[in-house]
Amino acid sequence: MNARHYHQARWNEPIICEMGSSGERGVLIPPFDGGAEPSSESGAFIPENMRRTAPPDLPEISQVEVLRHYLRLSQENLGAGLIPDFGMATSTMKYNPPVNEQLSRSAKLTNLHPLQDEATTQGILEIMYQLEQFLKEISGMDRVSLQPRGGSQAIYANLAMIRAYHAKRGELEQRNEIITTIFSHPSDAAVPSAAGFKVITLYPEASGYPSLDQLKAVVSERTAGLCITNPDDTGIFNPHIREFVDIVHAAGGLCAHDQANANGLLGIVRSRESGFDLCQFNLHKTFSTPHGSGGPGSGVSCVSSALADYLPSPTVEFDGEKYHLEYDRPDSIGKIASFYGVAANFIRAYAWILAHGAEGLREVAQIATLNNNYLMTKILEISGVSAPYAAKQFRIDQTRYSWEKLTHETGLKITDISRRSVDFAMHFFYSHHPYWVEDPATLEPTESYSQRDIDEFIASWTQIVDEAYHDPEIVRSAPHLAPIHQMTHPEYLSDPDKWSPTWRAFRRKYPGGFGNE
Amino acid sequence: MSKVLASTNPYIPNSTTRAKEEMLRTIGIQDIDSLFSAIPSELKLNRLLNLPEPYQSEYELQKHVTKILDKNTSTNERLSFLGSGCYQHFVPAVCDEINSRNEFLTAYSGKAYEDHGRWQALFEYTSLMAELLNMDVVNLPTYDGLQAAATAMRMAANISGRKEIILAKAIQPDKLSKIMEYNRHLLTFKFINFDPLTGGMDLSQLEQSLSSDTAAIYFDNPNFFGVIESNAGEICSLAHQHGALAIVGADPISLGILKPPADYGADIACGDIQSLGIHMQFGGGHAGYIASRDEEKFVREYPNRIVGILPTREEGEYGFGEVAFRRTSFEARESGKEWLGTMANLWAITAGVYLALMGPQGMQEVGQTITERVNYAMRALSSIDSISLQFPQAAHFREFVVDFSRTKKSVKEINRDLLERGIFGGLDISAVFPQFQNHAVYCVTEVHTKEDIDDLARNLAEVLS
């Protein structure tokens, strides 16, 4: 198979603030016929000192042109709907079935106010309740909150519950340390820190995970808990995870399993059997709700019965006849997010789980893992790329590769290779700081992509490697076929005098445009 | 008896026997189970998950889920006067058209090369919001307005080097819960009463509470009761006199007619953008903005993404990237500011579309018409004998408090009676504001006609007679 001959849309659209002209309208507001002194000047009911004096400097654009502008911008994207999107690993970019979209956009949800009488919201409450039952079974945990609006916010909810648990025992002052690993998501370190804990990070050995001795050396009466991804971003499953959990438990800590990377484990391994007290899933990853250009996602917090009282309020309960929202929960950590979370995602995830059933979910995990190992087998045949740690061992849902050999031999950078990928309608993620694997590229081919898709990806990388050794300039100067050319002046993002966080800041700092400052 | 299940899954291309066999052969193994050999058997689930039989055909699934959703009765089918954090506004069709485009819906976090359109749309959102707010920096949204307020307070504490937040009591209870839970280990709080007549902040109590420990004052404008804080300028100057910052929670839909917080001295503005072209979705349509001046000490405290614009090798072309990215948890893990993650960008794109459609005139008109309608509703309801308004003299935006304590019914009973008549009455605040027994917050927006409001008044008069 050859790499794709392709060219992305390049519309050169102006920034919207520059569009339109005076007097144009995109939409009209329904007039009011209430005789409420309509003849009075604008703002008649607003005290003089609180009235806006000059109208906001927004553009005036006809509806046709607003629609066209955004449609053109929509064409300048590469998401899971357009490409085999497995370069954004740890993100589980899978297929987002349009039927779920259709259901979630039903007027029976979109026009529902969260504070309506429960008699009028029984349908969505039923879906929330049933989704909780599914997620309890999938995780093995006892209660679930759907409230967090993202995976990291669910990690936060879990940390807040760990905090509440120790506070209730009078041990919070003493227990102020959370242990994590470097290949756990950055949020497994950042969120505990935001929640007030000191963070201790363990580093992998040749196996790809830290040793039990490393853990034992840092566990103490100060340990509040363990916050860990398994399998982590390398795709290597830590087989000693149960012992990790037992060691932390023996010291009086709680264990939170970051299940953002759960796609390869559905129906195969659960947090319960590994001994965890809490875990979180990202509905926008494993359970197929769309990533929305960066949200809204949904994080769900799953806990053991010992922690159920601390869950965010309200919970959804069922008395055999009616569903209701329960607020009378004195030990609850309170509100983690507005109302009950991202309800559209509950419908999507509910429908997605029901489309699969138990055997289907296991098949998801199996094929996601099969795809990853097929991809890895083929990638390791490409010169210049390696998969550090756990040599010859199979990986679960994803693998973190290293381009170190190729960059050393060619002088190219990982960013060059990443930009060149775009010219073949592929892209990949070179992970979070610190780059513990040199020149990393993390791939997660999920169950949604075909063998053909994987072979096409391989063809693009094979061609890039060939170019890197024989015509490196084409890689270095990439992209060539994307909506824009290579960006210059990175200091325009890091220098306070030069950065432009909005168009009005840009106009102030660069009145004549870039190059004329 | 269980159904006979189809062996090929339409969502899983490689679920065919052919694909599995060929791929296993390439890997050099016999069966898929071998791929999981690194996992100890005692950790594996040795049974199938206990889940309902699947609806494998799309038709059956659609029918099943639709049947459940049909049990809901939405504000399309009834007349609703609920607000209190989630608002029924007009949603232009173009907003839905754009946010349901698969190209935006399924994109995630590519760079500005392959995702140039997403980046530009997000930069445009922050740029349009910046005009509305008269501020130069706007974040890519955090989860919701609750998180935005909680985070803005941490930012203010870090900037000022102080730990005490002074808060107006006229705040949404859920927002207060979030703020307190999130900041409990870092900040301390003092609360300022509202004046029983004007609904605004008690200025003398505020003056007494301010000190050199105060990191920031926070208030919502309009507040939880729909009251416009007419002393906003004085409150902000009082904060500044004590070296504290002023943080104002403002709903952007009010800013075509209300002064933006920056114009009366706010250092940080924050709030929720759900009103800007995003459906209520049972509370699912929220996203939080934070805005400030373009000063380094402010920018370095944002935990969220900030999009910047930069040139490319081609003259006249714009690229985009992350401003001051080193402050984030993706660069600095536990040393970064809070954390980065999937938050609410689709709603940012949608709000950008909304502001582009509305323009300056649309934003002025929507603010004006809401003000007219809320005043009409206040007059209509106060003309009912047993009802009075809580802050009758105050200027209101979108919401107002109705006092039912002179009636023979509780708000609960009144709302039950209204529901029977096809009306969702205002939110009962008796439990959360004990001084307001049998009071409710009513919400009126540009979607409510004169007839709707008259209908409410007539029905209220009837259920109270």
**Which pLDDT score is estimated for A410?**
96
Nearest chain B residue (CA) to A429: B110
Q: Is the CB of A36 less than 8 angstroms away from the CB of B80?
A: no
pLDDT value, residue B393: 87
Convert the pLDDT of each residue in A330-385 to its tens digit: 999 999 999 999 999 999 999 999 999 999 999 999 999 999 999 999 999 999 99
Both structure tokens of A76: 């300048």
Instruction: Copy the structure tokens of residue A260.
Output: 């953002």
Cβ–Cβ gap A43/B257 under 8 Å: yes
Q: Among A49-53, A235-239, A427-431, where is mean pLDDT lowest?
A: A427-431
Q: DSSP strand E in B188-325: where?
A: 188-192, 214-220, 245-249, 268-272, 288-292, 307-311, 318-322
Nearest to A337, CA basis, from B150, B427, B17, B137: B150
H or E stretch at B427: strand B427-428
Distance from CA of A437 to the nearest CA of B (A): 15
The pLDDT, as a whole number, for residue A43 is 45
pLDDT at B446 over 80: yes
Closest residue of chain B to A314, computed from CA coordinates: B174
Residues of chain A neighbouring B260 (CB-CB closer than 8 A): 52, 56
Residue B407 Cα, gap to closest chain A Cα (Å): 21
- Burial letters A461-491, b for 16+ CB under 10 A, else e: bbbbbebbeeeeeebbebbebbbbbbbeeee
A200-230 b/e with 16+ CB inside 10 Å = b? bbbebeeebbbeeebbeeebeebbbbbbbbb
Mean pLDDT of A201-229: 97
- Is the Cβ–Cβ distance between A466 and B102 less than 8 Å? no
Query: Residues of A with CB below 8 A from B264's CB?
Result: 49-50
CB contact under 8 A, A490 and B321: yes
Is B60 near chain A, with CB under 8 Å?
no
Residues of A in contact with B370 (CB under 8 A): none
**Residue A479: is the preceding peptide bond cis (ω within 30°)?**
yes
Kindly report, residue by residue over B278-294, the tens digit of the pLDDT: 999 999 999 999 999 99
Tokens of A322: 């009616």
Pairing, β B137-138 against β B288-292: antiparallel
For the cut 90, the answer to whether the pLDDT of residue A41 exceeds it is no
Nearest CA in chain B to A7: B114
Cβ contacts of B22 on chain A, cutoff 8 Å: 451
Structural domain A102-353, CATH architecture: 3-Layer(aba) Sandwich (3.40)
Residue A252 gets which letter from DSSP? T
CA A263 vs CA A136, A145, B13, B113: distances in Å: 16, 20, 16, 28
Name A380's Cβ contacts closer than 8 Å, sequence gap at least 6.
Answer: A386, A387
What is the mean pLDDT of the segment spanning A510-516? 87
Q: Do A190 and B318 touch (CB under 8 A)?
A: no
Q: What is the pLDDT of residues A135-177, one digit of tens each?
A: 999 999 999 999 999 999 999 999 999 999 999 999 999 999 9
Domain residue ranges of chain A, discontinuous segments joined by +: 1-76, 102-353, 359-476, 491-517
Question: What are the tens digits of pLDDT across the range A99-116?
Answer: 999 999 999 999 999 999
Shortest CB distance from A51 goes to which of B58, B257, B316?
B257
A4-13: average pLDDT: 96
pLDDT for residue A432 is more than 80: no
Pick from B100, B114, B146: which is nearest to A78 by CB? Answer: B114
pLDDT-derived band of residue A36, with 50, 70 and 90 as boundaries? low
The answer to whether the bond into B303 is cis (omega within 30° of 0) is no
Residues on chain A touching B65 (C-beta within 8 angstroms) = 103, 127, 347, 350-351, 354
**Which chain A positions have a beta carbon within 8 Å of B307's beta carbon?**
501
For testing contact with chain B, the best of A25, A133, A335, A423 (most B CBs within 10 A)? A335
Q: How far is A118 from chain B (nearest CA, A)?
A: 9
What band does A44 get if pLDDT is binned at 50, 70 and 90? low
pLDDT at A504: 98
Smallest CA–CA distance, residue A49 to chain B, in Å, is 7
Nearest by CB to A357, from B51, B185, B229: name it. B51
Give the pLDDT confidence score for residue A33 in this predicted structure: 79
CB nearest to B353's CB, from A66, A239, A295: A66
Give B337-385 pLDDT, tens digit per residue.
999 999 999 999 999 999 999 999 999 999 999 999 999 999 999 999 9
The helix/strand/coil state of A308 is helix
Q: Is the pLDDT reported for residue B4 higher than 90?
A: no
What integer pLDDT is reported at residue B2 of this predicted model?
A: 55
CATH 1.10.490.10 fits A359-476, yes or no: no
**Domain A359-476 in the same topology as domain A102-353:** no
Residue A325 has φ and ψ, to the nearest 5°, of -95, 125
pLDDT digit string, tens, across residues A465-501: 999 999 999 999 999 999 999 999 999 999 999 999 9
Contact A124 B72 (CB under 8 A): yes
The band of A517, judged by pLDDT with boundaries at 50, 70 and 90, is low
d(CA B18, CA A512): 61
pLDDT value, residue B163: 98
Chain B partners of A45 at a C-beta cutoff of 8 Å?
Answer: 371-372, 374-375, 395-396
Give B-chain residues touching A318 at CB under 8 angstroms.
none
Give the C-alpha separation, B272 to B89, whole Å.
Answer: 14
Distance of CA B32 to the CA centre of its chain: 45
Interface check for B197 against chain A (CB to CB < 8 A): the answer is no
Write the CA distances from B88 to A248, B24, B69, B444, integer angstroms. 48, 54, 19, 9
Whether the pLDDT of residue B226 is over 60: the answer is: yes
- Mutate: best of B49, B274, B417, partner A, most A CBs <10 A: B49
- Yes or no, beta carbons of B45 and A270 under 8 Å apart: yes
Q: Of the candidates A79, A187, A499, which has its C-beta nearest B323's C-beta?
A: A499
Q: Which one-letter amino acid corresponds to residue B114?
A: E
User: At A144, is the secondary structure helix, strand, or coil?
Assistant: strand
Query: Region A273-297: what's the mean pLDDT?
Result: 97
pLDDT computed for residue A138 by the predictor: 98
In this structure, what token pair is assigned to residue A291? 């990533």
Report pLDDT digits (tens) over A256-272: 999 998 999 999 999 99
| Residues of A in Cβ contact (< 8 Å) with B334 | 189-190, 192-193, 199, 201
pLDDT in the model for residue B93: 98
State the average pLDDT over residues B403-419. Answer: 97
pLDDT digits (tens, 9 = 90+) for A287-311: 999 999 999 999 999 999 999 999 9
C-alpha closest to that of A279 among A270, A287, A288: A270
- Which of B141, B282, B372 is the closest to A343 by Cβ? B282
* Residue pair A93/B107 in contact by the 8 Å Cβ criterion: no
Average model confidence (pLDDT) across chain B:
96
B450-464 vs B345-382: helix crossing angle, rounded to 10: 50
Q: Determine the distance in angstroms separating the CA of B153 from the nearest CA of chain A, rounded to an integer.
A: 13
Minimal Cβ distance to A355: which of B55, B73, B332: B55
The nearest CA of chain A is from the CA of B31 a distance in Å of 10
The region of weakest confidence among A33-47, A383-397, B133-147 is A33-47
User: Does residue A69 surpass a pLDDT of 60?
Assistant: yes
Q: Residue B94 and residue A191: Cβ atoms within 8 Å?
A: no
Name the minimum distance, in Å, from the CA of A33 to any CA of chain B.
Answer: 6
Which chain B residues are closer than 8 Å to A360 by Cβ? Answer: 5, 9, 54, 56
Contacts of A393 in chain B (CB under 8 A): 38
C-alpha to C-alpha distances, B82 to A467, B374, B442, nearest whole angstrom: 62, 13, 6
Q: Is the pLDDT of residue A434 over 80?
A: no
Please give the pLDDT value at position B7: 83
Mutate to test the interface with A, among B96, B114, B137, B224 (most CBs of A within 10 A): B114
A58:B131 CB<8 A: yes
Nearest CA to B397 out of B221, B164, B143 is that of B221
Instruction: Kindly state the average pLDDT of the residues B254-275.
Output: 98
Whether chain A has a CB inside 8 Å of the CB on B297: the answer is no
Question: Taking CB atoms and an 8 Å cutoff, what residues of chain A touch B12?
Answer: 363-364, 367, 447-448
Q: Do A367 and B112 touch (CB under 8 A)?
A: no
The dihedral sign for the CA sequence B21, B27, B30, B35 = negative
Domains annotated for chain B, with CATH where assigned, are 13-63 (no CATH), 79-89+360-464 (3.90.1150.10), 93-354 (3.40.640.10)
Is 80 exceeded by the pLDDT of residue A315?
Answer: yes
Residue B18 CB coordination number (10 Å):
9
Lowest mean pLDDT among A68-72, A270-274, A513-517, B288-292: A513-517
Which structure tokens are listed for B86? 């989630």
Q: What is the mean pLDDT of chain A?
A: 95
> At A39, is the pLDDT very low, low, confident or very high (cuts 50, 70, 90)?
very low
Inter-chain CB pairs, A–B, below 8 Å: 746
pLDDT category at A436 given cuts 50, 70, 90 is confident
Instruction: Please report the residues numbered 392 through 431 in chain B whose beta carbons come closer than 8 angstroms to any beta carbon of chain A.
Output: 395-397, 415-416, 419, 424, 427
